[in-house]
Structure 1
Amino acid sequence: MAANDYEQAGELKIGQVGIANLRVRTLDVAQLVREMRERVQRAPKLFGRAAVIVDFGGLAQTPDEASARALIDGLRDAGVLPVALAYGTRDNDALAERLGLPVLAKFRAQYEQAGRAEPAPAPPPAREPAPAARKPAPAKAVEAPRPPGRMQKTAVRSGQQLYAEGCDLTVLSTVGAGAEVIADGSIHVYGTLRGRALAGARGNAEARIFCHQFHAELVAIAGHYKVLDDIPDQLRGKAVQVWLENDQLRLAALE
């Protein structure tokens, strides 16, 4: 039989997924479960049965198995589905194994950067050679051009997800209810925004969201979010911009 002469029953692809990250700041299981239940009740279409990564990186030490298991069970009772622990320490990895959960490496870069050792001090500069022996200065390196923004000319329909990696995203049409647009930079929607818009996906707090008609189910910048119920009525249907200021999400009508 010829090699690879068969069809796969399942095609595996690795891509960007919209999974919520619950960063635990205080290990108060009852309060965490209560807060999650309130989120689900306020926006059941967004958070009901949503996949959630539990992130213990904000705690001084990794929780014990009993506390972690109580939190996982409580979150399920609240209406969401914990699917993994966020990348962390070796203790965190061992805890995930005991809980029967995977460790998701999506957040690995920011952890490695936060825990990276300070660079060693630069060695003292070498003594300059005599003028006759001085070599000509090397040519200045040319900066690599920034990647152009991604442009979507047609509507983003319910169930679709669009991701602009490392750049801004411009949608010339509408973003339908149940659709999701994500960008590492800013998001510009020249039609109606009804779905979810997540700008600054890799933590860029300077990113913004602009839309011509605001009916968004959820908007987020660098992880800070608001759902439709949090939005003042006078902004619905208006041209709106969204930005982050002092870790608070701000919205205002565009004039």
Structure 2
Amino acid sequence: MSHTPDLKGSSFTLSVLHLSGDDVAPTVDFLKQKVEQAPTFFASAPIVVNIDKVQGDIDFSALKNGIEQAGMIPVGVTGSKDKRTQNLASEAGFAVMSSSKSPASAPAKIAPTKVIRTPIRSGQQIYAKDGDLVILNHVSAGAEVIADGSIHIHGTLRGRAIAGASGQKDAKIICNDLQAELISIAGNYWLSDKIDSEYWKKKVMLSMVDDSLQLDVLTI
């Protein structure tokens, strides 16, 4: 058995912070609020900063320190348009990253649907890699269910549901009773306070339409 280190390519789902201006302070306040709202989801979360829409210079050192103070981990910067900006970001300790413009594709190998019959208790995490996840029971507050594909919950969703974890935008979340702490598809998420009351405690389907989350009440 070889003990030599090795480097291999892989892919991970990261939260991307899209900046609209060069003022760092409002961004840091925004991140602190998110961590306070859902600490189990955002605390120590790796963050990539997209600066594609920023016109002025960014204080990357202040931004990096602010992200760390908010309780997240600054990983890299994407969307930089010139070498100077890339150098400034790199000097502040950010990795300079480029995002793929190609649409997310299904994994090469599709795993069988993962079926869970028991309740998902607070503190538990269930992950269906390269496939769909079916929960035939309830998901308690403080629990987390994740799938690279879609998630079907036949009971009440009180915890967090994250579908399309590897970037599949066509993933869906269907649950019989929506009372979620967080729902997410392909890195786009809503916390409970962003879910309109008309969908609360209803049988719903969450999907992505034109890169935005959309909820629909199911009547059957």
TM over 0.5: yes
Residue 145 of structure 1 deviates from its aligned partner by: 7.2
User: CA distance change for structure 1 residues 145 and 33 in 2, over 3 Å: closer, same or farther?
Assistant: closer
Residue 92 of structure 1 deviates from its aligned partner by: 7.5
Residue 223 of structure 1 deviates from its aligned partner by: 1.1
Asked whether the equivalents of residues 197 and 219 of structure 1 are also in contact (C-alpha less than 8 Å), the reply is: yes
2:28 to 25, 33, 44: 33
Residue 189 of structure 1 deviates from its aligned partner by: 0.4
User: CA distance change for structure 1 residues 158 and 235 in 2, over 3 Å: closer, same or farther?
Assistant: same
Counterparts of 2:205 and 2:51, CA distance in 1: 30
User: CA distance change for structure 1 residues 227 and 56 in 2, over 3 Å: closer, same or farther?
Assistant: closer
1:23 counterpart letter in structure 2: L
Give the aligned partner of residue 124 of structure 2.
Answer: 160
Residue 67 of structure 1 deviates from its aligned partner by: 2.4
User: CA distance change for structure 1 residues 203 and 214 in 2, over 3 Å: closer, same or farther?
Assistant: same
1:217 correspondence with 2:195: no
Give the aligned partner of residue 141 of structure 1.
Answer: none
Give the aligned partner of residue 167 of structure 2.
Answer: 203
User: CA distance change for structure 1 residues 232 and 213 in 2, over 3 Å: closer, same or farther?
Assistant: same
Counterparts of 1:55 and 1:45, CA distance in 2: 18
Secondary structure of residue in 2 paired with 1:234: helix
Larger Rg: 1
Structure with higher RCO (Cα < 8 A, 6+ apart): 2
User: CA distance change for structure 1 residues 169 and 97 in 2, over 3 Å: closer, same or farther?
Assistant: farther
Deviations 1:192-238 (A, max 9, x none): 10000011111111111000111000001111111111112232211
Give the aligned partner of residue 55 of structure 1.
Answer: 48
User: CA distance change for structure 1 residues 247 and 94 in 2, over 3 Å: closer, same or farther?
Assistant: same
Counterparts of 1:175 and 1:51, CA distance in 2: 23
Deviations 1:121-168 (A, max 9, x none): xxxxxxxxxxxxxxxxxxxxxxx8732111111111111111111111
1:75 correspondence with 2:67: yes
Q: Which runs of 5+ in 1 are unaligned?
A: 1-16, 116-143
2:125 counterpart letter in structure 1: Q
Give the aligned partner of residue 4 of structure 1.
Answer: none
Q: Kindly report which structure 2 residues correspond to 1:55-134, keeping only aligned pairs within 5 A, or say none.
A: 55-56=48-49, 58-59=51-52, 67-77=59-69, 80-86=70-76, 99=93, 111=99, 113=100
Secondary structure of residue in 2 paired with 1:51: coil
Counterparts of 1:50 and 1:216, CA distance in 2: 18
Residue 87 of structure 1 deviates from its aligned partner by: 8.3
Secondary structure of residue in 1 paired with 2:45: strand
Q: Which runs of 5+ in 2 are unaligned?
A: 1-11, 103-107
2:64 counterpart letter in structure 1: I
Asked whether the equivalents of residues 148 and 166 of structure 2 are also in contact (C-alpha less than 8 Å), the reply is: yes
Counterparts of 2:46 and 2:29, CA distance in 1: 17
Residue 68 of structure 1 deviates from its aligned partner by: 2.7
1:226 correspondence with 2:190: yes
1:233 counterpart letter in structure 2: S
C-alpha RMSD over aligned residues: 3.5
User: CA distance change for structure 1 residues 93 and 200 in 2, over 3 Å: closer, same or farther?
Assistant: farther
